[in-house]
Structure formats: C-alpha cells, structure tokens
Amino acid sequence: MQRKYRLILRLSALLLMVASPGAHARGYASTGKCGIYPRLAITSPSGTCVGLIADDAHGLRFPRRVLEIEPGRIWVLDMGNWMPQVGQLIELRLPPDAATPANANTTARAVEARVLLSKLNYPSGMARGPDGKIYIGEADKIWRAAVPSLGQTPQPELLASGLPADGAHLLKELAFAPDGSLYVNMGSATDACRGEDQKQAVPCPERSAAMPRAAVWRMVLQAGKQPVKEFKPFASGLRNSMALAVMPDGPAAGTVWQGENNIDYRDPRQPPEELNLLRAGADYGWPYCTGARQNAQGYEKRFDCSKTEAPHMLWPAHVTPLQMLATPVGSAFGGQLLVAWHGQRADGQRLVGLARDDKGRPSGKPIQWLSKWDARPGLRPGGRPTGMDIDHAGRLLVVEDFNRSLLILMSEAGRAPRPG
C-alpha cells in the first residue's frame, strides 16, 4: 500500500513539472488593479478586492503556508511538488503600498524574492511561536529558527526528528495555543486502514504503533538545552489534521479545533468533512467512523461509534480543509475561524469564515470570503487555497499550491476587509 502511495506522489510531481506555465500564476488574467497589484476575478465581499502579489515568476512552485514576518517581509513555505527534499523557504519583499503599480499581468517588477532554505522534506507547517521564533514542520521533523536580519539565512534548531514520513498523510501541520503548547498533525498512513491484503483490521495497527498515527500530538516546550519537555498524542482517531487552530481569546480561549479530511468515498456527497473540538485523550473515530458517528464503509457492525466523540459541525463532503486560522476577537475578521477549503468539487474552491457564538465556539452558516472561484479559461483557474495569514494592516494573505500564487484580500481602499 505504501509503495502505491509513493508511486502516486511521484507521478503527481512529474505531471506538475510537465504542466509548468511560463510567465505567471496558472491561468489568472488581470481585470484591473487591487491596490498596487493585478486584480483577479475572484468573488469577495462588497467593497473588497483580491490581488495577485506573487506567482511562479518569484519561484513559487507549490506553496503551502504564508507568514508575515514584519511589514513588507513575507515568508512562504513551498513544498515544490510531491517529491522528497525539494521544498524551499522563500522570502518575499513587498513594495510600499504607495508604490507604482506593477505590470498588469505579473508582479515580478514589484516584489523581490529570495530563497532562504532549500532541500526541505515536504515542508507544510509554519507558525510563529510565543518566543518570536518561526516553527517549521517537515514530514520527518520539526524545527525552529530565530528571524534573521535581512540578507541572512535562518539557523534551524531541531526539536523533533524521526517522525513518520511515509504513506498517504505524511505532512505536518503546527498550531500554537495561548499557553505555548504546540499541536502537531500526525496523519494516517492510509485512507481507511486498508492493508496490503485489502482487509481493514480492528483494531487499526496504525493507531497503536510505536509512534501512533491518525492523531494530533502536543509538544510542551521549556527553556534550556532540552527545549522539548514533552511530546505525546493528545487526541486520536483523526485521519489527517492539516487544518488545526487554537482559539486565542474569548470564552473558548485555548480550545483546540480540527478540520477533518475524511475518508475518500466514490460518492461525491459522502462522507461529510468535520469540524471537531479536540479534548485530551478523546477518540474521534477514524477509521471506523465518519460524520455523525456513522460506521465507515468496511466497518459496518464491527465498531461501536457511540463510544467516539461527535463532531462539533459537519461540512460538505470533499471540501478538504487544508488550514484554519483562529482570528482574535478584536481583529478585522472579528474572531472568525477562517478555513481554506481546497477541494476541487463545487462546495470547495473557497475560503470561508465561521463566527463565534456566546460560548466562543464556531457556529452558524459559513461566511463566504473568497468564493465563485471555479475555473474560467482565460480568466482564472479553480481556487486551490492552502494557507493564510493576516498582515500588519489586517489584510488576508492566501497561498495556493497548484496555482502557484500568493493573493491578498483587502478593501478597495487598501485596508483590512470587514466581516460580513
């Protein structure tokens, strides 16, 4: 089974390289100006616009995460493709907001790019720690580095190594809690715990391995020569937690939230994706259960799903949440939980927000921040958002992997967008 997944990953990488475009992000055409950047035909709330900051002219090949280091200084974590040891950490230097607009079809003249680190192994997680350092998750390791001066290279400090780096879900996501704890995705090796013999075992061996998978782990950090005090599973039964967030404030401050990429069925309407409130020691059902504690295909009458935690909320099938960002109550996004829905089906290809209820928990109907992002030849490709960050002015930065782009959502006046 693992050989099959590795073959699929390599074929995907070859297809990406063959399909490489020449001059700008895949399929985008400018429709005017959004601030100083080319304007894109992506639907956003009234009074806002979406601009193209950077693309493959700046070396973006498969960007997964974005982080503003300081005003005008952006780090992009780029996986390269689905091959090992080809990832990069790229620094972009943005022009002042009052600069002369870039060429209508590319931002190459306005934005400078520099590769800070290369040969990274499937880099996919990036977060700023309470110590001000930047934490990076590669498939097999987690490290951190102080932000260097301009023109200097980050110096990685290894925190954990030997992490599972094979199978279907090898990527690591990182999310900090207000108390300084770091939560880490340790995704399952398979889609539904199907072995080489195509049988689905109970119990699933992945969950009881020496380093259990299909789990979210918690790292406790400390000062001194041994920076990692504790690193162990926090919650289990989670297929792939590339969408992880911790509420920064409000009544639910410190609560951990996970967007579940559920088992793949042929039915385009099943199973639903999930938003889960994670509790220490709790079991969320993978591979035995999906959705509202229903037995997964192959596990009918073989496991009691009532013993598992119920989802906080269900989302449409196959929307594929790839990052969540819990915004502070006082921010431009009003405390919403922002979610990048990366899936290619009609319900995906968008970026949504969930308002918090009086208990501080995500609730209600998703608020559409970026939508109607389907492919229109000659105008735009289908949306493939993978990562987000909010810049110093409250504007939303968004990266797309397959489209090789860094976008910005802002008001028409160049300031922060306002919640809908």
**123 against 14, higher pLDDT:** 123
Q: Give the pLDDT confidence score for residue 110 in this predicted structure.
A: 77
Helix (H, G, I), strand (E, B) or coil at 16: helix
Q: Give the pLDDT confidence score for residue 97 in this predicted structure.
A: 73
* pLDDT band, very low/low/confident/very high, at 300 (cuts 50, 70, 90): very high
Kindly provide the residue ranges of all beta strands, DSSP E only, lying in 55-166, ordered along the sequence. 63-70, 73-78, 87-93, 112-120, 125-128, 134-137, 141-145, 157-161
How much is the average pLDDT of 111-136?
A: 97
Domain that holds residue 173: 2-411
Q: CA 103, 55, 395, 29 torsion: positive or negative?
A: positive
The yes-or-no verdict on residue 3 having pLDDT over 60 is: no
d(CA 285, CA 311): 10
Per-residue model confidence as pLDDT tens digits over 182-203: 999 999 999 999 999 999 999 9
Structure tokens at 126: 């990036």
How much is the average pLDDT of 262-289?
A: 96
How much is the average pLDDT of 301-329?
A: 97
Q: Do 67 and 36 touch, CB atoms closer than 8 A?
A: no
Length of the chain: 420
* pLDDT band, very low/low/confident/very high, at 102 (cuts 50, 70, 90): very low
Q: Which helix (H) or strand (E) holds 410?
A: strand 405-411
* pLDDT band, very low/low/confident/very high, at 17 (cuts 50, 70, 90): very low
d(CA 314, CA 276): 9
Q: Give the pLDDT confidence score for residue 15 in this predicted structure.
A: 47
Query: Residue 239 class from Cβ within 10 Å (0-12 exposed, 13-18 middle, 19+ buried)?
Result: buried
Sheet holding 228-236, edge to edge: 174-176, 182-186, 215-221, 228-236
Q: Give the pLDDT confidence score for residue 101 in this predicted structure.
A: 52
Provide the mean pLDDT of the chain: 92
The tally of CA atoms less than 13 A away on the side-chain side of residue 253 is: 9
DSSP letter for each residue of 173-207: -EEE-TTS-EEEEE--SSSS-B-TTS-B-SS-GGG
The yes-or-no verdict on residue 20 having pLDDT over 80 is: no
The yes-or-no verdict on residue 21 having pLDDT over 60 is: no
Least confident of 5-14, 144-153, 261-270: 5-14
167: amino acid identity, one letter:
G
Helix (H, G, I), strand (E, B) or coil at 12: helix
CA 55 distance to own-chain centroid: 18
List 90's β-bridge partners, or say none.
Answer: 76, 115
Q: Which helix (H) or strand (E) holds 13?
A: helix 2-18
Structure tokens at 100: 């002369």
Q: Tell which residue, 382, 352, 377, has the closest CA to residue 364.
A: 352
Q: Is residue 419 part of a domain?
A: no
The yes-or-no verdict on residue 344 having pLDDT over 50 is: yes
Structure tokens at 199: 């049988």
Q: Give the pLDDT confidence score for residue 25 in this predicted structure.
A: 59
What's the predicted TM-score (pTM) here?
Answer: 0.93
221's CB contacts (< 8 A; 6+ apart) are: 129, 159, 180, 181, 182, 227, 228, 229
Number of neighbouring beta carbons within 10 Å of residue 210: 5
d(CA 40, CA 52): 7
The yes-or-no verdict on residue 2 having pLDDT over 70 is: no
Structure tokens at 255: 């609560």
- 358: region left, alpha or beta (phi > 0 left; psi from -120 to 50 alpha): alpha
Q: Is residue 278 part of a domain?
A: yes
**420 against 102, higher pLDDT:** 420
Longest dimension (CA), the chain: 65
Alpha helices in 245-284 (DSSP H): none
**382 against 25, higher pLDDT:** 382
Q: Is residue 81 part of a domain?
A: yes
The yes-or-no verdict on residue 181 having pLDDT over 70 is: yes
Q: Is residue 51 part of a domain?
A: yes
Tally of structural domains, the chain: 1
d(CA 53, CA 4): 37
Q: Is residue 420 part of a domain?
A: no
| CATH code (residue 302) | 2.120.10.30
d(CA 258, CA 242): 8
Q: Is residue 106 part of a domain?
A: yes
Q: Give the pLDDT confidence score for residue 27 in this predicted structure.
A: 86
Per-residue DSSP letter, 300 = T
* pLDDT band, very low/low/confident/very high, at 418 (cuts 50, 70, 90): confident
Q: Is residue 147 part of a domain?
A: yes
How much is the average pLDDT of 74-101?
A: 90
Q: Is residue 285 part of a domain?
A: yes
